Amino acid sequence: MEIKLKKNRKRTIIIGGIAFLFLCMTSLIFYADSFIGRSLPQLEGELAVPGLSGEVEVVRDGKGVPHLSASSDRDLYMAQGYIQAQDRLFQMDLSRRQASGRLSEVVGEKAVDRDKFFRTLGLRRAAEASLEGYSPEVKEVLGWFADGVNAYIQDSKEKKSLPAEFTLLGYEPEKWTEVDSLTIGKYMAFDLGGHWQGQAFRYWALQSLPEDKAMDLFPSYPEDAPTIIHETTDLSMKWGNAITEPVIPPEMNGSNNWVVSGSKSESGYPMLADDPHLSLGSPSIWYQMHLESPDVNVSGVIFAGIPGIILGHNETIAWGVTNTGPDVQDLYIEKRHKEDKNHFLYDGKWEEAEVIKEPIAVKDSETIPYEVTVTRHGPIVSEFANQDDSENALSMRWTALDPSLELQAIIDMNKASNWTEFEKAMEDFHTPTQNFVFADKDGTIAYKANGKIPIRKKGDGLLPVPGWTSDYEWTGFIPYEELPRVVNPAEGYIATANNKVIGDGYPYHISHHWAGPYRYMRISEVLESKEKLTKQDMKDMQHDHMNLQAREFVPLLLNALEGKELSEQSREALQLLADWDYEDDADAAAPLLFHQWMDRMSNELFDDSIPTDMMKLFEGKQNVVDELIRKAAKGKVSPWFTEQGGFESFLAESLSDTLEDGFDRYGSNMSEWAWGDYHRVYFENPLSSASSILEWFLNRRSPEPVGGSRVTVGAASYNDEGIVNHGGSWRFIIDMVDMSKADHIVGPGQSGHFKSPWYDDQIDDWIEGKYHETTLKPPADGKQLRLVPET
């Protein structure tokens, strides 16, 4: 009996312990849920905001898009800052920290290399210099916006309702400043412009490889491919392993846009479409808003942390952009004084460089002393280019490091009512250089490449140039009135897709680096296929998966291997490609085979000759491979193929390797392979990789199969694991028959708060091509919040 009582008592203790643990876990979950929920934005009722002079109405539509209506510009931009901070404060803070080189302060040692890179570039220094050049009116806008952000920060601190990410990282956000907004703008210029790494790579190639092999790595553009508008020195340098890891923007940063005249539209009015291709993540890089005051009524998107609307429409005009990609970064080879490393030779005299102390604070570690050396051409970047030479150094000259006035342009564009006013506003948009397409309700359609593109005394942006002589200086910029421009073309449409802007007859150099022409050719093909186009045609085009690269190369590859001795599996694979309709369908086997074969060729061709550190600087690798295949198919075989046993042998071996890997990963039945088994979209939150728990909270959606690829109009670029992390970050369509509304997709959603219903509600829309309509009038059934002056 006593033994039985002891057993019962023991069982009771165990059950009680389990119950207690369960209660503790449940309480912890409820507390965490309550704590995280406190930072959800207030969407209804009334909020007092210090600094407001009048009431601002904020109405959220069904997709979380805020419509702001104010009686003055002051209140409008204050409210814009406040509302952006409600949804995206942590993202805004990380953005300013990244661009300023201050991530290590909150995430630790793993961000030190990144911080060194951005301290060296000096985006924040350039933003500080830019602020002085703005008009008093735009300085006021920046100040009002900052006041709104700071009102939210202060209110959240008092209510202990800052976003949970701040608590996880153990810090609180500092006050927002005008320079913070401009620094984020400078970061976008970094993300979209420049080719310094390609110059460093090509210079290394000329010194390290046989000349014929090195020259085959230089950029080119396919002969007869369409456009939008129908010198080496003898200085030897030392190269080593990577000293500090550089930050290289995604090479696929680009976009599509097009505008159709009323003569080609079913409505009889112009239609405009735009889908910028940038990194995909949670939250989106874009924030969609509608802003209304007595002076402005504009709808579209902006980068979180910046006032105004950068892309979208107002009551009479609409506009969109793609990246032009000009050569606006030059590397200069500087001769360093043997006894004083901060003096550099220039026209026979030694000049002292500016040395800027940039100590880097590191979380849970000691502050790292760091210095940036700035020559007359710009900062020394040798450590990021694998250049290890005590007597010579590489400096960078870049337009974005000059003072510039992009926000001035944005504010003026928002208020423009016709092409003349819009083109005038664009004159202040110095960097990054963009291909703007424009439409006016009066029927005007237009295109212009804006921005500052340098004119060089000598050199053409292909290689680093001597910095010890004035012979290679910039002498100015392409005059604004002579930048490429088209108004109301006879074709009835204008399209751009990062392809070559203009032919060789243009008197100025723009770039050596262009995207392959495939997206542009496909857009033109579809726009010319119909006499009258509809808005649905525009939507279908933004999700078009026709692969014109495959249409060009599959016949070349099949012809090259015709009659060759191949395995049964290889012959089956070639037949699969021969039967393919060239659609990059997620459920199809052929696109998986084609892309993995092309990727393998790009890697295997260079692996034995180019070190890993230099491969990171190899700009335009796929375009180089494409051109080598084109030439080889015509009998001009590169030594890169000859060293691999010949062109046909290399193709056969790389195909065999591709199939062997495919059988291991996707099974022995090739016809059952699917592109979507590898190619899957994933909107990753930057903090989700820290732990599996954070991944569950911040990325509750698993990677989803998706069609398209790097070369389709429906852009979906991917990393080495097949994760689609780059593509149409915002999609926009407007038919100007009704300027009061337009169609949008912002993947994955509007909100940066993972408990918001608008955090990831547009992922399926992004995959399936479902748009939401946004109007220039606040929706009557939306969630209404009144921001009122503090009494």
What is the arithmetic mean of pLDDT over 20-26? 48
Q: What is the pLDDT of residues 728-766, one digit of tens each?
A: 999 999 999 999 999 999 999 999 999 999 999 999 999
Cα torsion 62, 63, 65, 66 to 10°: value is: 40
Lowest mean pLDDT among 89-98, 223-232, 282-291, 775-784: 223-232
Is residue 618 one of the residues assigned to a domain? yes
Residue 21 has pLDDT above 90, yes or no: no
* Per-residue pLDDT reduced to its tens digit, 526-539: 999 999 999 999 99
Angle among Cα 460, 462, 465 to the nearest 5 degrees reads 75
Q: Which of 33, 304, 56, 80 is nearest to 181 (CA)?
A: 304
Domain count, the chain: 1
Domain enclosing residue 578, as ranges:
548-582+589-673
What is the DSSP secondary-structure string of 464-492?
Answer: -EESSSGGG-EEEE--GGGS-EEES-TTS
Q: Is residue 631 part of a domain?
A: yes
| Domain-embedded: residue 612 | yes
What value does the mean pLDDT take over residues 383-400? 90
Note the pLDDT tens digit of each residue in 326-384: 999 999 999 999 999 999 999 999 999 999 999 999 999 999 999 999 999 999 999 99
pLDDT by residue (tens digit) across 183-209? 999 999 998 877 889 999 999 999 899
- Arithmetic mean of pLDDT over the chain: 92
If DSSP states are collapsed to H, E and C, what string results for 697-740? HHCCCCCEECCCECCCCCEEEECCCCEEEEEECEEEEEECCCCC
Range in 156-160, 269-273, 316-320, 614-618 the model is least confident about: 614-618
If you average pLDDT over residues 294-302, what whole number do you get?
97
Residue 26: predicted pLDDT: 43
Determine contact, residues 265/536, Cβ cutoff 8 Å: no
Task: Please tell me whether 764 is known to bind a ligand.
Answer: no
Percent of all residues in the chain with a pLDDT value above 70, rounded to a whole number: 92
Under the banding of pLDDT at 50, 70 and 90, the label for residue 249 is confident
* Helix 518-527 × helix 548-561 angle, to 10°: 120
| Single-letter amino acid code for the residue at 490 | A
* Domain annotation covers residue 623: yes
Task: Kindly state the average pLDDT of the residues 642-659.
Answer: 96
CA distance 138 to 307: 10
Q: Residue 234's pLDDT is what?
A: 46
Q: What is the pLDDT of residues 666-693, one digit of tens each?
A: 999 999 999 999 999 999 998 887 677 7
Q: Give whole-number Cα distances, 668 to 401, 662, 663, 676, in Å.
A: 54, 8, 5, 17
Give mean pLDDT, residues 211-230. Answer: 72
Say which residue the tokens 């300027």 belong to: 739
CA–CA gap between residue 566 and residue 656 (Å, rounded): 9
d(CA 655, CA 561) in angstroms, rounded, equals 10
Local confidence band at 224 (pLDDT 50, 70, 90 cut-offs): low
Q: Inform me whether the pLDDT recorded for 24 exceeds 90.
A: no
Q: Model pTM? A: 0.92
Position 1 pLDDT exceeds 80: no
Q: What mean pLDDT comes out for the span 210-222? A: 84
Catalytic annotation present for 470: no
| Helix (H), strand (E) at residue 259 | strand 254-260
Residue 496 maps to a domain: no
pLDDT reading at 31 higher than 50: no
pLDDT in tens, 116-174: 999 999 999 999 999 999 999 999 999 999 999 999 999 999 999 999 999 999 999 99
- pLDDT category of residue 240 using cuts at 50, 70 and 90: low
Q: Of the listed 95, 100, 130, 255, which one is catalytic? A: 255
Phi, psi of 176 (to 5 degrees): -85, 145
Q: What is the pLDDT of residues 429-468, one digit of tens each?
A: 999 999 999 999 999 999 999 999 999 999 889 999 999 9
DSSP type of residue 666: H
Residue 257's nearest CA partner among 762, 734, 736, 748 is 734
Decide if 424 is inside a domain: no
pLDDT category at 302 given cuts 50, 70, 90 is very high
Residue 651 lies in a domain: yes
Q: What is the pLDDT of residue 390?
A: 81
Ligand-binding annotation for 738, yes or no, is no
Q: Is residue 681 in a domain?
A: no
Residue 760's pLDDT is what? Answer: 95
pLDDT (0 to 100) of residue 697 = 78
Confidence check: pLDDT of 19 > 90: no
Model confidence band, residue 547 (pLDDT cutoffs 50, 70, 90): very high
